[in-house]
Amino acid sequence: MAKLIVILADQLSPALASLREASSEDLILMAEVKQEASYVSHHKHKIILLFSAMRHFAEVLRQQGYQVSYLDYQQGFDSLTAAVQHTLQQQPQLQAIMLTECGEYRLQQEINSWHNRFQLPLDMLADDRFLCSATMFAKWADGRKQLRMEYFYREMRRYTGLLLDNKQQPVGGQWNFDKANRKSPPADLQAIAPLQFVPDEITLEVIALVKQQFPDNPGTAANFCYAVTGKQARQAFNHFVAEQLAKFGDYQDAMLLDQPFLFHSICSIYLNCGLLDVRWMCQKVEAAYQQDKVAINAAEGFIRQLIGWREYVRGLYWLLMPEYKERNYLNASRPLPGYYWHGKTKMRCMQQAISHTMTHAYSHHIQRLMVTGNFALLTGLDVSAVTDWYLAVYADAYEWVELPNTLGMALFADDGVLASKPYAASGAYINRMSNYCQHCQYNVKESTGADACPFNVFYWDFLARNEDKLGGNARMQLAYKNWYNKPPEQQQALRAKAAEYLIKLEQL
């Protein structure tokens, strides 16, 4: 029985479960559809990346002997459902639909309707590109009062055998070397750029399409230089392991002026759309440690991000959706300031993080969490607007990974399901981990003066504003003790300065 095998834009993997089931009589469908390209205002780089990578992957599949139907954007299909319906009408010999489970709840619900809509069997295969299935994660979570990533991560280390000695204990004597990954950057630290690629003919065609069809989307199409094939993505990752990984371990939380990448691999962009395999990546990093090419904090820190955080947030997403998306524990509702879309602000840290984002569809995890995310938390920006922004502007963002990281970790909107306390910080943290404050119009040492750092001002106001919900949090006791120790007149001055800054939030 001939099947229609649908491959999604983030499933560009030769080892995809549904591809392993394909036969010579089956037809593979790939489609660039309007709904998926526009449900948020995606960064131009993200659309270029996915459309170009999809087109390259389709060519690889054809060369391997698969039958492929590729529907490009200009053919005008509004939705994936419409593309499937068209294909089934054109190919009446197809008697079943098969695909690997979707990464986003929204699209998965649409796909689930196909069985009744088309009156054909719908075979949904588990996405075993991930190490931990939704069922496996639910079993781990069952009965636990707190779903802490650290304990999940240790289980994943045991499950994969990564960085374990012959007694199944962690190499280096501990599971987590995070404290060794937080070094402040010295003034003379020199960044090592990730590998870049010159757009080929297919990518240039996509760039022209995006310029024409998405002129008002964030970013520019002119400087696109990301990998669009599995071969290129592997070259980029090998470059990271050989050139960047050794420094990544020490400085993965550091930020430097006009250095958007520092020592980061940016390979989440490739991994999350399927161009890289998580097992292969982890094995490469483990081998670099075993060969004494990198220190344990570099290898463990990177592997933790992949088999710890990445697998954990996906499991959490599928465990708690769709209700999770509606959470807003701190009742945050303030409109998103315009500079989130253009980066024109006097706050140098925000200017840097946002301008890097708009230029590259990328900023690293500390810029996302402790700059743009921290600012959104402290000022009470609307949760839906912030999560939509993160989903739109980053080339590696898909809802399964973006939503828990933003709603749960950055905004504490889930009341501690993901994080045990809010990641709230004043300007002192940014000053310690970057050189941004040296080049800022605001004074990081001030909290009430004319040039007071907005992060300082909003930090104290955040504590006071949310005392009823956060005052009992055990990990917030020191912060609240510091607040309570301030004289009443100083507290009043801080609240007054926050009120002043909130009124002119767009002008900060």
Q: Is the pLDDT of residue 188 over 90?
A: no
What pLDDT is recorded for position 145?
A: 86
For residue 361, name the pLDDT band (cuts at 50, 70, 90). Answer: very high
Q: Are strands 96-100 and 67-71 parallel, antiparallel or unpaired?
A: unpaired
What pLDDT is recorded for position 190?
A: 87
What pLDDT is recorded for position 180?
A: 72
Residue range 482-486: mean pLDDT, rounded:
93
In angstroms, the Cα distances linking 160 to 278, 279, 297, 312 are 11, 9, 18, 14
For residue 368, name the pLDDT band (cuts at 50, 70, 90). Answer: very high
Query: CA angle, 58 as apex, 268 and 210 as ends, to 5°?
Result: 65
Residue range 388-402: mean pLDDT, rounded:
96
- Domain layout of the chain by residue ranges: 3-125, 134-199+208-320, 339-507
Q: Are 418 and 147 in contact (CB under 8 A)?
A: yes
Q: How many CB atoms lie within 10 A of CB 91?
A: 14
Q: What is the DSSP string of 342-354?
A: H---S-HHHHHHH
Residues 6+ apart with CB under 8 A from 98: 3, 4, 5, 6, 18, 21, 26, 122, 123, 124, 125
> The tokens of 455 are what?
């992060």
Residues 6+ apart with CB under 8 A from 447: 453, 456, 457, 460, 494, 497
Mean pLDDT of the chain: 94
What pLDDT is recorded for position 307?
A: 95
Q: Are 73 and 213 in contact (CB under 8 A)?
A: yes
**Integer Cα distance of 170 and 162 in angstroms:** 9
Q: Read off the pLDDT of residues 318-329 as tens digits, 9 standing for 90 and up.
A: 999 999 999 999
Residue range 64-90: mean pLDDT, rounded:
95
What's at 139, amino acid-wise?
A: K
Q: Is the pLDDT of residue 14 over 80?
A: yes
Q: Read off the pLDDT of residues 269-320 as tens digits, 9 standing for 90 and up.
A: 999 999 999 999 999 999 999 999 999 999 999 999 999 999 999 999 999 9
Q: Are 454 and 347 in contact (CB under 8 A)?
A: yes
Q: Is the pLDDT of residue 507 over 80?
A: yes
What pLDDT is recorded for position 166?
A: 83
| 260 phi, psi to nearest 5 deg | -70, -25
What pLDDT is recorded for position 189?
A: 87
For residue 184, name the pLDDT band (cuts at 50, 70, 90). Answer: confident
Question: Which class is 3-125 in CATH?
Answer: alpha beta
Q: What CATH number labels 339-507? A: 1.10.579.10
What pLDDT is recorded for position 442?
A: 96
Residue range 122-137: mean pLDDT, rounded:
95
Q: Read off the pLDDT of residues 37-58 as tens digits, 9 standing for 90 and up.
A: 999 999 999 999 999 999 999 9
Q: Is the pLDDT of residue 181 over 80?
A: no
**Integer Cα distance of 23 and 25 in angstroms:** 5
End-to-end CA distance of the chain: 63
Residue range 220-229: mean pLDDT, rounded:
94
Cis peptide leading into 337, omega within 30 of 0? no
Q: Are 64 and 19 in contact (CB under 8 A)?
A: no
What's at 195, amino acid-wise?
A: L
pTM confidence score: 0.94
Longest CA–CA span in the chain (Å) reads 79
Residue range 499-507: mean pLDDT, rounded:
95
What pLDDT is recorded for position 392?
A: 97
CATH pick for 134-199+208-320 out of 1.10.579.10, 3.30.1330.120, 2.30.33.40, 1.25.40.80: 1.25.40.80
Counts of helices then strands in the chain (DSSP H, E): 26, 5
- Helix (H), strand (E) at residue 235: helix 230-239
Q: How many CB atoms lie within 10 A of CB 110?
A: 15
